[in-house]
Amino acid sequence: MSNTVRVTQGYLRGTEDNGILAFKGIPYAAAPIGVHRFKEPTAAPAWEGIRDATEYGPTAPSLPYSPPLDQLIDEPVIEGPDYLNLNVWTPATDAGRRPVLVWIHGGAFANGSGAVSAYDGSRFARDGVVCVTVNYRLGAEGFLQIDGAPANRGLLDQIAALRWVRDNIAAFGGDPEAVTIAGESAGAMSVTTLLTTPQAAGLFRRAIAESGAGHHVQTPTTAAKVTAAVAEELGVEATLAGFTAASPADLLAAQGEVGRKISEAPDPTVWGELATSPMPFQPVIDGAVVAARPIDSLVAGVGCDVDVLIGTNAREAALFLVPNGAIDAVNNDTLAKILALMGADADVVLPVYREAQPSASAGELLVTAVTDWFYRVPAVRVAESRMMHGANTHVYEFGWPSPFFDGRLGACHTVEIAFAFDQLASPASAMIAGVNPPQELADEVHGAWVSFVRGGDPGWPPYGEDRIVRRLNAHSDTVTDPAADQRRIWDGIR
């Protein structure tokens, strides 16, 4: 078994552990600094000799998660300019033409990297799938709208990585014609966006979207407001020259200040759709890379040739409301105001939630409503849109509860990731799932993902008129149209 391969730029030497080969920190594009800053990604330069690929490469610059999220979410920081890199795990560097999984990390388009311990792809490789994890430009560097610079640079990075996979994955025993893209949170939003992006057409056959769907993009008007706010923080003109003159560190600091101001005063008359979104830096509808909201493109039939597995966790929003104590500060007035921000009439919506949770506090009802509005209903809309066109789509809901905060986190945002990767022993898993989470559930979830990557079928019927959903838990079951009343109250709103 050879741990040396040749890719477009030269030779790489990886590591071998228990029959699995790993190649880490491989640059797929030139470092986005200097003349390459705020530009489309360009090919990584070639190298002489054999390049060491035994350690993770640099991670994209980001601000740390705020407490207490920093105690729940793994965030490796590796300094260096060559952060447009990826990692590959494979069982063999032969001509096996195995299916490929390309993982796009989450982190609200402002955090994360392919070096998170739960993203270790060795278990996918063990099961015959070549696994790739990708870094891309984050925050303002990747998503700030700047006149004279390409929009959606972070998405362009992802596309560049997929092209690198197309051109090089055969050297790692992978099949470039059997690629599945997958991601969680912002990674899943990226996946559904790429599903509708012309530049990504033909680069993948299947897609997995965990806790993110097709509603999460900005209008150009809102993006322009963010650009103006960042320029004001920096004290520069809102031009390419102005932003180029700012150091990456200063731009990152300004990015954080703008995000803080939006979250502290989420006024829709000022910030538009960002009043209900924690992501001031996200894909923007630019008419080229993102022609429209992904959900609207899906309704029109785009991406129907790609198999999709999509789903959410039962209590996504608990991650953002329980650890900081916000859940206990919510009263009925606060709940009604937040529902109004989301476009709902509390007098119409709340009776439905209260019937389903008769003893729930206002904070608990908010967890359910925000989970529906931000995560579950958008995922359902993706499935519905594809159902209209007969496209192969499977839907899941992950329900295993984290034990932290006396169980109040429940099946919160991010908790499913280590189960999908079968990495329950990883430090990242321990931070959110605790010790001894059920390996049997990881066997089931990971097995379903592997089955889908191989053949487009995770093991339960596709989503159709009967709205079949697989509920993944300690005792999993397959159900028809779960929480139907809650789904219906968002018709015409979300």
Catalytic-labelled residue, pool 413, 416, 446, 476: 413
Cβ-contact 460, 478 below 8 angstroms: yes
Determine whether 389 is an active site residue. no
> Residues near 370 by Cβ (< 8 Å), separated by ≥ 6?
316, 317, 321, 338, 342
Cβ-contact 341, 266 below 8 angstroms: yes
Which own/partner pairs from 461-469 qualify as long-range (CB within 8 Å, at least 24 positions apart)? 461/394, 462/392, 462/393, 462/394, 463/383, 463/386, 463/387, 463/393, 463/394, 463/395, 464/387, 465/387, 467/383, 467/395, 468/395, 469/311, 469/395, 469/396, 469/397
Catalytic-labelled residue, pool 75, 233, 316, 364: 316
Determine whether 316 is an active site residue. yes
Q: Which two tokens stand for residue 399?
A: 């329900």
Determine whether 113 is an active site residue. no
> What are φ and ψ of residue 284, in 5° steps?
-120, 145
| Cα 387 from Cα 490, distance rounded (Å) | 18
Residue 8: which of 29, 23, 25 has the closest Cα?
29
Residue 41: which of 27, 29, 55, 26 has the closest Cα?
29
Catalytic-labelled residue, pool 62, 122, 185, 429: 185
User: What positions carry a catalytic annotation?
Assistant: 185, 316, 413
